Copies of this chain bind each other. A is one copy, B any other.
Amino acid sequence: MSLLPPVVGQSLQELDTPQLMLEQDAFEANLQQMQEQCLRAGVALRPHAKAHKTPAIAQRQIALGAVGICVQKVSEAEPFLEAGIRNILVANQLAGPRKAAHLRDLLTAFPDAEIGVCIDHDTQLAQLHQAVMGLGNRPRVLVELDVGQGRCGATDLNQAVHLAQRVIDAGLVLGGLQAYHGKAQHFRDPLLRREAINSVCKQVAQVRQALEQKFIFVPSITGAGTGTYALEAASGLYTEVQPGSYALMDMDYAAIGPEPEMRFRHALTLASTVMSTRPGQRVLDTGLKSMSAESGLPGLHGLNGWEVVGISDEHCVIRAQSREAEIDQPLPLGAQVQLIPSHCDPTVNLHNHLVVHQHGRISAVWPIAARGLSQ
């Protein structure tokens, strides 16, 4: 059939749409900026691969200096291991014995892989212990702290110390502390973000101190995302940061700022085609099946005078902001428009590959190998 995957060297105009696109120069600039900031702050960079789910991106991040990656699910780790990545933190608790068994299989199949996993409950540790008993390659176990998200993680100091002690008692390696404040990533006001991370650091420092008083060494303190990474990096407390969206950038993260270290370029877009026209309005062939919208409407890349007014299952409606805008940018039937997703993670998860482009030509097609791996 004629639904062929895009080919290197094609022009963007030849693409069928919707098509998920990555602008190579913006992407490279984002990767380099983040790596430089981390180097300057003296923290390790462990980018979160849940944002891109693409082994080729993880390889590029590691080539530039990242120590490894995070993933959020055990199944998600597998395509990255297959692509040769050997240092992976599953920054989450494992739900149920089947996931612990899957982790055991990965540790067995990749005996040189260093895999970390989080806990916040004795039962998770017991299931993990039972699954990996007798293996040569054991997971590092991190104790997750609830530092303001109100979701997973130990809620008080005693529970955190208890869990760390239990990891050691079980003969497993304590990997350190996972402390991520997800909500703070999206606070628009920089002062609020600063206050939130100050409070996070106070809490994490208390746990570390309590552990050290019991002669329990904390080899790593890890967390942070694109919205606050510079604060954790400058804390003198965190040993590594886990930003993910910075590589791609969506509308939501572009709305925070204005600090220069938060400015990344929109590398990720969704190529769409005008499929229906009427005065002042165009309908694009892109909808909720190729772009998530729970964080709001997408933006328009490089198209002034038009705005997105609605998105539904299979359509996106844009309107001209003035008569002049429509004359300047007439967008006839068949014209290609680049949308900027409002939330990159669930948008990437809808696509099988990422079309990389530079100077109007396709430079690579990268499989989104972890798409749909949510178990």
Contact = CB atoms under 8 A, between A and B. Distances in A.
B105 A1 contact: yes
B1 A124 contact: no
Given A334-B96, A349-B289, A120 B276 contact: yes
Interface in A96-148: 96-99, 101-102, 104-106, 109, 120-121, 123-124
A351 B334 contact: no
Contact of A102 (B3, B153, B346): B3
A345 B311 CA distance: 14
Given A93-B276, A313-B50, A345 B289 contact: yes
* Residue with the highest number of chain B CB atoms closer than 10 Å, among A50, A284, A346, A373: A346
Number of copies of chain A assembled together: 2
A375 B288 contact: no
State which size class the interface on A falls in: 35 or more
A242 to B, nearest CB: 13
A246 to B, nearest CB: 16
Interface string A130-171: 000000000000000000000111010000000000000000
B333 A351 contact: no
A23 interface: no
A374 B290 contact: yes
A14 B96 CA distance: 10
A288 B97 CA distance: 23
Contact of A152 (B92, B120, B315, B372): B315
Nearest to A311: B294
Contacts of A277: 121
Contacts of A72: 313-314
A177 interface: no
A358 interface: no
Contacts of A17: 95-96, 375
Contacts of A293: 294
A138 to B, nearest CB: 18
Nearest to A100: B2
Nearest to A375: B16
A18 interface: yes
A373 B317 CA distance: 20
Contacts of A312: 151, 182
B2 A98 contact: yes
A14, A283, A352 interface centre (most CB from chain B within 10 Å): A283
Given A93-B276, A375-B16, A50 B102 contact: no
Nearest to A118: B276
A95 B334 contact: yes
Interface string A311-354: 01111010000000000000001100000000101100111100
A273 B96 contact: yes
A160 to B, nearest CB: 14
Given A50-B313, A182-B312, A345 B288 contact: yes
Given A1-B109, A96-B275, 10 more contacts: A1-B102, A16-B99, A73-B314, A93-B276, A95-B273, A95-B274, A153-B276, A288-B345, A289-B372, A350-B350
